[in-house]
Amino acid sequence: MKISETASYPHPVLAPWSGDIVGASFHAELTLREDGAAQQVDIHCKVTLEQPDLVALIEQGDASFGCFITCVATGFRRLQRFGFPSGSHQFAPGALLGRVQIRPMVWALRPIAAYAPNGGHPEFGGPIDVEVGQILALDDELRVDVLRPALPSIESIFEIFASKEVPEGEFEVDLSGDRIHIMMGETSFSLVQGLRQTDEATRGVVMNALYVPVVMEVLQQIAGGPDQHSHCRWFEPFRKRSELLDVDLKSPDLLTDAQILLGKPFAGLNRLIEQEDLVND
């Protein structure tokens, strides 16, 4: 459904910017309640409709009040009915995130014969038949931002081990446990642990040299069959982070998506360059 405030209709439409119906008004007061932990949003509407013909149509079941709701981030698009003159609706977890556009409206549920609302502009020339789904009233669009939940920590799902069985300069990955195990030689292990614990700049080195290829491997294995890892405790936080960052686990771009999931760690290497410049100065 595409709604434009400049559109013209073959019948009178009550709207704040329109003179189709004089001596009448329509306004919806919207209240959002967010449950950040559950990623759930409730919308409550309280309607003021001062046009007796439209009120009668709603009360008789010939028309309905609701909101056309769109959310680009999640792809949500729905004409949602609400109770009149007030009502609430609870949306599924994760349905609305980021920028949400809400347009209150009244529309026909049944054919309305000879529609001629009191106060209708004479340019319409008399009663008009209205088909099912036609808009009868519009209010100004409301734009709100629904807070995104904090991203699950990516590093918390990994565990690094020293192994005498892995040659120095190499590492192996095991996805079968509660965490993703990364195994490497003892010298490499000591080096990695030292870099992780030094500062943010050296931590970026570990992210690029170790975690990027590991996450690429994880993405590849999940794309090949997600069910084989869905029982692992690391899988759900990895899936949730991917969902919030719009990473398609069924068809990932391995290199690009690995960098997205890790917060684009290559940019962190600039800190090392800055530190080196300070030392040289």
What is the per-residue pLDDT across 246-279, written as a single tens digit (0 to 9) for each? 899 999 999 999 988 988 777 655 555 555 544 4
Tokens, residue 189: 């292990």
**Checking DSSP bridges between strand 40-50 and strand 86-90, what pairing results, if any?**
antiparallel
Token reading at 127 = 């009663």
Return d(Cα 101, Cα 128) in angstroms, integer.
31
Give phi and psi for 41, each to the nearest 5.
Answer: -125, 135
Residue 236: inside a domain: yes
- Cβ atoms of residues 128 and 10 within 8 Å: yes
The residue out of 100, 116, 146 marking a domain boundary is: 146
Band (23; pLDDT cuts 50, 70, 90): very high
With cut-offs at 50, 70 and 90, classify the pLDDT of residue 227.
confident
Q: What's the pLDDT at 39? A: 65
Q: Could you tell me if 198 and 132 lie in one domain?
A: no
Residues 91 and 168 in one domain: no
**Residues 165 and 191 reside in one and the same domain:** yes
Note whether 202 and 185 are within 8 A (CB).
no
Answer yes or no: is pLDDT of 180 > 70: yes
Could you give the CA distance from residue 90 to residue 58 in angstroms, rounded to a whole number?
Answer: 22
Q: In the predicted model, what is the mean pLDDT of residues 208-235?
A: 87
Q: Do 107 and 30 belong to one domain?
A: yes
Domain range for 56: 25-146
Mean pLDDT of the chain: 86
Instruction: Note whether residue 259 is domain-resident.
Output: yes
Same-domain check for residues 117 and 180: no
φ/ψ region of 72 (left if φ > 0, alpha if ψ in -120 to 50, else beta) reads alpha
Task: Judge whether 5 lies within some domain.
Answer: no
Among residues 90, 119, 146, the one where a domain terminates is: 146
136 and 187 fall within a common domain: no
pLDDT tops 70 at residue 22 = yes
Per-residue confidence (pLDDT) for residue 102, from 0 to 100: 95
Question: By mean pLDDT, which of 40-44, 223-227, 233-237 is the weakest?
Answer: 223-227
pLDDT at 203: 61
User: Do the domain assignments include residue 15?
Assistant: no
Using one digit for the tens of pLDDT, what is the confidence trace for 66-91?
999 999 878 899 999 999 999 999 99
pLDDT for 268: 57
Question: Peptide bond before 85: cis, by omega within 30 degrees of 0?
Answer: yes
Query: Is the same domain home to 178 and 260?
Result: yes
CA-to-CA dists, residue 109 to 47, 112, 117, 256, angstroms? 18, 9, 17, 47
CB 162 within 8 A of CB 242: no
- Cβ pair 204, 265 in contact under 8 A: yes
Could you tell me which residues are beta bridge partners of residue 180?
158
- Same domain for 132 and 177, yes or no, is no
Instruction: Give yes or no for residue 54 having a pLDDT over 90.
Output: yes
Q: 137 and 239 share a domain?
A: no
Q: How many structural domains are present in the chain?
A: 2
Residues 6+ apart with CB under 8 A from 145: 98, 99, 100
Q: Each residue of 98-139: pLDDT tens digit? A: 889 999 999 999 999 999 999 999 999 889 999 999 999 999
Q: Global pTM?
A: 0.56
In a domain, 19, yes or no: no
Which CATH number characterizes residue 142's domain?
Answer: 2.60.40
Q: Are residues 55 and 117 in the same domain?
A: yes
Looking at the structure, tell me whether residues 29 and 140 fall in a common domain. Answer: yes
- At residue 198, the pLDDT reads 60
- Looking at 13-17, 22-26, 94-98, which range is the least confident one? 94-98
Both 59 and 124 in one domain: the answer is yes
Last residue of a domain, one of 126, 146, 166: 146
